Amino acid sequence: MKISSWQLLILLFLSRIFITITYFTLEDVSPSVMMSTTAFSVAADMILVIPAIILYKKYPNENVIRSAFEISKSFGIVLFVLYFIFAIFMIFRTVRFFLYFFENAFLNLLPTLVVGAMLIAAAAYVGHLGIEAAARSSSIVFVAFLLLIIAVIATTAEDFDLNNYYTEPVGTNDILNGVVHGISRSSEMVVLVLLLPYLKNGIGKSVYGFLILKLLFVEMIALLCILFLGGYMAAVPFPFFTVCGFAKAPFVERLDAAFLVVWTLMGVIKLSLYTISLRPSAVLLKPLNNNAVTNLVPFVLGGVPALYFAYKEQMIIPLLDNEITACAVLLLGSLVPLAVLILRRLKHEKN
Amino acid sequence: MNIDDKNYAHTLLPRTADEFKKMLKAVAGNTMDVNISDIMVSGHRCVFVASEGMISTQALSDLVFRPLMEFDMGRTASAEEIYTFLTRQSLMTIDRQELTTFGEVFMRLFSGFAIIFIDGLNKAISLGIQGYDKRSIENPSSDTNIMGGQDGFIEALRTNVSLVRRRIKSPLLKFELMQVGKVTKTDIAISYISDKVDKKVVDEIKKRLMDIELDTVFSSGYLKPFLEDKHKSIFSSISTTDRPDSMCIKLNEGKVGILIDGTPFATILPSEFIEEFRTVDDYSTRSFYTVYIRWIKYLSFLLAVALPGLYVSIASFHPGMLSHRLLLNLVASQESTPYSLTTEAVIITIMYEIMREAGIRLPKAVGGAVSIVGALIIGDAAVTSSLISAPLLIIIGLTATASFVIPGLNQQTSVLRLVYIAAGGLFGLYGISILTIIIIANTCVLTSMTVPYTAPLSPLTTNRLTNILGRPSFLNLQKTKRRVEDLNGVKK
């Protein structure tokens, strides 16, 4: 089962942009600072993905865990456990994020537990079908996302206020914060180093295409929210959703329900990626080499606590968007692949 | 030699006519449709065997009996001389074959061949003089069109083969005959154009067909589960058509067609989702009109599947999406009905399905009456008595009409419509979204013979996108070589 570079690009993009359309705020910075730090964050990503690219070029049918197994079995197992925990954490974080948003954006529409259980079940099903199903589905979801963006821009453009955009000098601290903030939202860097064996060819096209597309759309969504909401952007918790709520089309009074549809599709794709990415390395380990086990265990371990916290209405905000996540992404997405490359080279030279 | 219905297939023919008849009767028993007669040809004893109703009596008398009776060597002919006459010196029929086992004898016998056994030789000759009654060639029943050919497949395999051959006169068009079904021994013809098809696909299809151990095969539905890949999907990566021209178009794309004796439908594989929206008429009309109709069909599919579900979910969970005037109208119409919108939608959808099924199964004359009863009496009465709201009836009517536009996906649209109503009614647009991603993934996982069902959209094959947006021009068609294997996402 292999996917094309375009399919990988779209998978990573949807996974990343899901975070942006869910929760994206001005906080305490000016629009220009926010937009320029986003660019710096993508530039940092471009450097951080280099180990993954080298890993693919040297060992195209292996991901970071399989490569670690080639160095030593125990090292492989340790890495598998680390990535497994990361997947569980990300599933927890994504489900909880999803439910938090759902509770607040779509007040009392459905019981939280039902929403969460449906999301997890759908993601587990897509994960069970495997990478090809997820990749092909993502192309269709991508088209839906594009249509949503076009519809929102077309229906809100007349209310844009260019005065909402103003510039301020960008300080070193701003850049640093922006980069850390950006990395903490880039769990796709970790997913990428696990998905490498699925890629047919064109790693550069996938990765840099993904980063360019990400930069383009994150900046576009940011600009859209800034021009439409202005100062209110810092006050509303979900700016893009709010813009969709105000968007009025000829047949539809507001586009927030359309947002719900696209956002849910993207959420399912994002969640399924975490278990799909574990599969190429899980085949090396019993009893995880069973497809159902690899697929269900992370959803049970990550999803059930998320449902519990959602039920108890505990948000655990710091856990969702902080330096710890950034460190985990940095470590598992860049440093570990780099270490594996070096160790493998050393082992090769020793032999 | 002992022969019975278990070992007859590989039992060799005996040398004497008496033993041949005895063994033949031992297997066939006292079945009334096998006629066995002794005849003398130039003084030599032969046994003539035929299945009643399967051969043409005219052809039998003109092509077989008359030449045999006129064959006179002036002395008792030897077995070899008669054999040479039958196989090399006479022009009885083109389709003749030497048979050496009882398996071959029964296979040919029940396919409408006459069998002549010559006493003294341990082989028989089969002569193709089939003449069983068959339906005449008529308009295709399920895939009608305006500008294309008006002849459709019938139940007779050889007639269907000729319908395809008449349209593709190239020697590269091949028909490979084989039998499936342990009891029925149904003839099937695997057809392909040898320089267009991927030979590995043909070999794989043949292998899968040979592995079938079903007792009976009566239609394409019996073969589909064995030809499909392992993933279970609500859609099928194998399509059927009752149009020879449609089959020819698909064969030219490198696909493989399977004609089954006894069914007027050809099975085509691999198949793509987008194919269901293509018709032969697309290539007979102006391209702008084809584009227009193609998009009407896409819209119809979406309406047929999701419109009632969307209506129920938006009206029940997201009324803010609707304009105030529309909302007021809906509320007013809903106020007078006793059931919830979801219940109403489910009831009326099931009622529609009952009437549709009744209309299909009943004789045509009565089927029309069912439509009148359904549409005029029940529908009108339900609205007048305020059991069903008028807007919902309009929605279901529109949905039903839309589903007729894509008859090939009728099974899927019927079931999905009800599932969408349930999802939308219970969970709103969130339920619709979750159901949609499940259906998308379930469809996307489908692959047939390395070709993804959702190609060329996903995986994206850019040079085939014209097939989605409209249709490629004939100028384009003559320049490019279009093969189905190019859709598997692998760049060559």
CA distance B437 to A88: 22
Query: Counting Cβ atoms within 10 Å, is residue A287 exposed (0-12), middle (13-18) or buried (19+)?
Result: exposed
pLDDT tens across B267-284, in order?
998 888 988 888 888 888
Tokens encoding B439: 């259906």
Q: Does B314 touch chain A (CB under 8 A)?
A: yes
Q: Which residue of A has its CA nearest to B490?
A: A4
Cβ atoms of B122 and B1 within 8 Å: the answer is: no
Contact between chains at B429 and A129 (C-beta distance less than 8 A): no
Helix (H, G, I), strand (E, B) or coil at A199: strand
Q: Does A155 touch chain B (CB under 8 A)?
A: no
pLDDT reported for residue B492: 43
Query: Which of A7, A8, A103, A132 is the mutation pick for testing B, counting most B CBs within 10 A?
Result: A132
pLDDT reported for residue A319: 52
Sequence-ordered list of residues with C-beta below 8 angstroms from that of B15, at least 6 positions apart, any chain: B120, B121, B122
pLDDT tens across B47-61, in order?
999 998 888 888 888
Of B360 and B194, the one with more pLDDT:
B194
Tokens encoding B8: 């007859």
CA distance A128 to A126: 5
User: Shortest Cα distance from A37 to chain B (angstroms)?
Assistant: 34
If you compute the radius of gyration of chain B from its CA atoms, what whole number of angstroms results?
29
CA distance A136 to B85: 64
Q: Does B274 touch chain A (CB under 8 A)?
A: no
Cβ atoms of B273 and B454 within 8 Å: the answer is: yes
Tokens encoding A17: 């942009």
CA distance A227 to B199: 59
Of B142 and B19, the one with more pLDDT:
B19
Cβ atoms of B277 and B298 within 8 Å: the answer is: yes
Cβ atoms of B210 and B230 within 8 Å: the answer is: no
- Chain A residues with beta carbon closer than 8 angstroms to that of B447: 132
Residues forming a β-bridge with B268: B239, B257
pLDDT reported for residue B440: 95
Q: Which residue of A has its CA nearest to B455?
A: A136
Of B433 and B491, the one with more pLDDT:
B433
Amino acid at B409: L
User: Shortest Cα distance from B483 to chain A (angstroms)?
Assistant: 20
CA distance A138 to A12: 10
- Chain B residues with beta carbon closer than 8 angstroms to that of A3: 459, 489
Furthest C-alpha separation in chain B: 103
Of B24 and A28, the one with more pLDDT:
B24
Tokens encoding A101: 């948003």
pLDDT of B332 above 90: no
pLDDT of B1 above 70: no
SS (H, E, C) chain B: CCCCCCCHHHCECCCCHHHHHHHHHHHHCCCCCEEEEEEEECCEEEEEEEECCCECHHHHHHHHHHHHHHCCCCCCCCHHHHHHHHHHHCCCCCCEEEECEHHHHHHHHCCCEEEEEECCCCCEEEEECECCCCCCCCCCCCCCCCCCCCCCCCCCHHHHHHHHHCCCCCCCEEEEEEEECCCCCEEEEEEEECCCCCHHHHHHHHHHHHCCCCCCCCCHHHHHHHHCCCCCCCCCCCEEECCHHHHHHHHHCCCEEEEECCCCCEEEECCCHHHHHCCHHHHCCCHHHHHHHHHHHHHHHHHHHHHHHHHHHHHHHCHHHCCHHHHHHHHHHHHCCCCCHHHHHHHHHHHHHHHHHHHHHCCHHHHHHHHHHHHHHHHHHHHHCCCCCHHHHHHHHHHHHHHHHCHHHHHHHHHHHHHHHHHHHHHHHHHHHHHHHHHHHHHHCCEECCEECCCCCCCCCHHHCHHHHCCCCHHHHHHCCCCHHHHHCCCC
Contact between chains at A137 and B452 (C-beta distance less than 8 A): no
Q: How high does pLDDT run on average in chain B?
A: 86
Helix (H, G, I), strand (E, B) or coil at A160: coil
pLDDT tens across B432-445, in order?
999 999 999 999 99
pLDDT reported for residue B488: 59
pLDDT reported for residue A317: 55
Tokens encoding B415: 């079931």
pLDDT along chain A (351 residues), means of 10: 90 93 72 85 92 92 89 90 91 89 80 92 93 93 94 90 82 84 88 92 91 94 89 82 85 84 95 90 72 82 87 64 82 93 88 76
Q: Does A340 touch chain B (CB under 8 A)?
A: no
**What is the average pLDDT across B307-317?**
92
Q: Does A200 touch chain B (CB under 8 A)?
A: yes
Furthest C-alpha separation in chain A: 70
